[in-house]
Structure 1
Amino acid sequence: MDSINRALQAEKIWSGETNPGPDHSDKNIELVKRFFEEVWNKGNLSLVDEVLAPDYEDYNRPPGTPRGLKGYKANVNMIRSAFPDIRFTLDQVFAENDHVAIRLTGHGTHKGNFMGIPPTGKQVSFGGMTFIRIQDGKVAERWGISDIPGLMQQLGGNGRPPSAIQVKSPYDHVSFMGPKDSKSTTRVLGVTNLCKATKDDTRGIYSLFVSTVPPGEGVPIHTHWKEDEAYYLLEGEWELYDDTNKETMTLGPENYVYVPMRTSHGFKNVGDKPGRLVLIITPGGLEGFFEGIGQVFDDPDNPPPAPSGPPDFARAAQIAAKYNITFITPEG
């Protein structure tokens, strides 16, 4: 219950229900930069005790890792033992009051055992995103995702040749896409998805969508067996279901939700207005699922008529199976 209460408190701060206090954005950015340089790039674990709060909570710590500072140090040691020359570059850092969002890239040489894979000597790189909350000058909470599947592919994990991270992106420059622009627009179970980035745009690391959900609509409970998901809620009132842990969360705008692979989950817009959210899926590629299961159209302002009759769950389940997704349908 402590983690739930902490998450609810963070929700109140994010949504403005509590006063976040003076704006320490610049100071917090410098704290984050110093932390990554000293702890991750130089291995100075003594800074962990200085920067992380005594009751620090990492909501996306690696499986089997202890909670708190002990778990964080164990994770640093595990990564640096496998990649002794690991170096993280902070590609983008944004801060608002006590919240900091980071997009980063790690580079290193595989010289130690990593998740059962013996040293290969390969040079690797992988991306990630981290969201943290700072309280009283210390990091109190963290949420994040990393492209571990892409990293494993580079190392030849599970017998697969390194591929995803090495796919050449069609963009070798900063790209821009307007609010209504998309690589494809689909409607799945009433949800309109504007695909902003495909796996081919991101070297296989992630796919990104902006989804609009009518009142009363949503996505039924399902499980991704090979992808992590992250939601950033823009507009609307939402119920999110964690079926694995039998929990239901009611959240509003500006909340972030991370869903690890193999976790049964779903969501519904319970408000009286259309809801909007940003959906990130890693590794990328599920744009093919949306295009296969839904209606594809060009103009999001002029969608085609919705299909008549109930959804074809049998067809949906068949397509989902190709993408290692399992739906809990009304038929069970």
Structure 2
Amino acid sequence: MKSIQLAVFSLALISSGVMAEASPQSVVSSYMAAWNAHSASQAARYLANDVVYYDAATGSPVKGKEKAEKEVIGAFIRAVPDLQWKMTSQPVYNQDTIAFQWQFSGKNSGEWAGAPATNNDIKFEGVSFIKVVDGKIAWQGDYYDSKKLEAELQKAKP
């Protein structure tokens, strides 16, 4: 009888572990915290190996965890080492996908897309759609006002 109870208890523990998989909200919150800690490698831990990152401003998706870490997350962190990426709306969910408005701010004190640092403060808003599969980000699409960002990068200092 004790062995049956132990087996049932063990099965319950295993099942609860499977059910306790990270929610899209918790994955995205941890991912954003890693960005705000200015750690590309830590943020990349939340990406699936075959992640697709789509930035509407560039129009070309970046495919794969290593490329996303280097060409997206790392590029932003190098360009704006003090960056802050904040969720500014309640997220909207559709099973495995989360959408939310955000604000990105900081000082452009590093090279950005081949251009030298402007040392300008930047602040722009956008929306992200992030699909989470098996506790990892499988797809991220960012949509924002790239003209406002460009203007802030080029504004003259008083």
Same-fold status (TM-score > 0.5): yes
Q: What SS does the corresponding residue of 2:23 show, helix, strand or coil?
A: helix
Determine the structure 1 residue equivalent to 2:84: 87
Tell me, in whole angstroms, the C-alpha distance in 2 between the residues paired with 1:66 and 1:134.
17
Number of equivalenced pairs: 134
> Runs of 4 or more off by more than 4 Å in structure 1?
61-66
Determine the structure 1 residue equivalent to 2:32: 36
**Contact 2:41–2:69 under 8 Å retained in 1:** no
Determine the structure 2 residue equivalent to 1:76: 73
Q: What SS does the corresponding residue of 2:45 show, helix, strand or coil?
A: helix
How far the C-alpha of 1:46 sits from its partner, in A, is 3.3
Tell me, in whole angstroms, the C-alpha distance in 2 between the residues paired with 1:53 and 1:64.
19
TM-score by length of 2: 0.72
**Contact 2:38–2:77 under 8 Å retained in 1:** yes
Please give the per-residue CA displacement for 1:277-315, whole angstroms capped at 9, x wherever unaligned: xxxxxxxxxxxxxxxxxxxxxxxxxxxxxxxxxxxxxxx
How far the C-alpha of 1:48 sits from its partner, in A, is 4.0
Tell me, in whole angstroms, the C-alpha distance in 1 between the residues paired with 2:61 and 2:95.
29
Q: What SS does the corresponding residue of 2:142 show, helix, strand or coil?
A: strand
Determine the structure 1 residue equivalent to 2:105: 107
Determine the structure 2 residue equivalent to 1:129: 127
Determine the structure 1 residue equivalent to 2:46: 51
How far the C-alpha of 1:116 sits from its partner, in A, is 4.2
1:233-248 matches, cutoff 5 A: none
1:10-25 matches, cutoff 5 A: none
Q: Which runs of 5+ in 1 are unaligned?
A: 1-21, 163-332
Q: What SS does the corresponding residue of 1:155 show, helix, strand or coil?
A: helix
1:148-227 matches, cutoff 5 A: 148-156=146-154, 161=155
**Contact 1:88–1:105 under 8 Å retained in 2:** yes
Tell me, in whole angstroms, the C-alpha distance in 2 between the residues paired with 1:65 and 1:111.
26
Give the RMSD, CA atoms, in angstroms.
2.5
How far the C-alpha of 1:151 sits from its partner, in A, is 0.9
Shift of the 115–48 alpha-carbon distance from structure 1 to 2, 3 Å rule, reads closer
Q: What SS does the corresponding residue of 2:55 show, helix, strand or coil?
A: coil
Shift of the 147–71 alpha-carbon distance from structure 1 to 2, 3 Å rule, reads farther
Tell me, in whole angstroms, the C-alpha distance in 2 between the residues paired with 1:132 and 1:65.
14
Tell me, in whole angstroms, the C-alpha distance in 2 between the residues paired with 1:117 and 1:84.
15
Higher mean alpha-carbon deviation, 100-109 vs 59-68, is at: 59-68
Tell me, in whole angstroms, the C-alpha distance in 1 between the residues paired with 2:39 and 2:148.
27
Shift of the 51–150 alpha-carbon distance from structure 1 to 2, 3 Å rule, reads same
Tell me, in whole angstroms, the C-alpha distance in 1 between the residues paired with 2:40 and 2:111.
21
Shift of the 149–116 alpha-carbon distance from structure 1 to 2, 3 Å rule, reads farther
Higher helix share: 2
Determine the structure 2 residue equivalent to 1:324: none
Tell me, in whole angstroms, the C-alpha distance in 2 between the residues paired with 1:78 and 1:49.
13
Please give the per-residue CA displacement for 1:111-165, whole angstroms capped at 9, x wherever unaligned: 1122344222221101111111111221112222122221110122xxxx57xxx
Q: Which runs of 5+ in 2 are unaligned?
A: 1-18
TM-score by length of 1: 0.37
- The higher relative CO (CA closer than 8 Å, separation ≥ 6) is in 2
Larger Rg: 1
Q: Tell me the percent identity.
A: 22
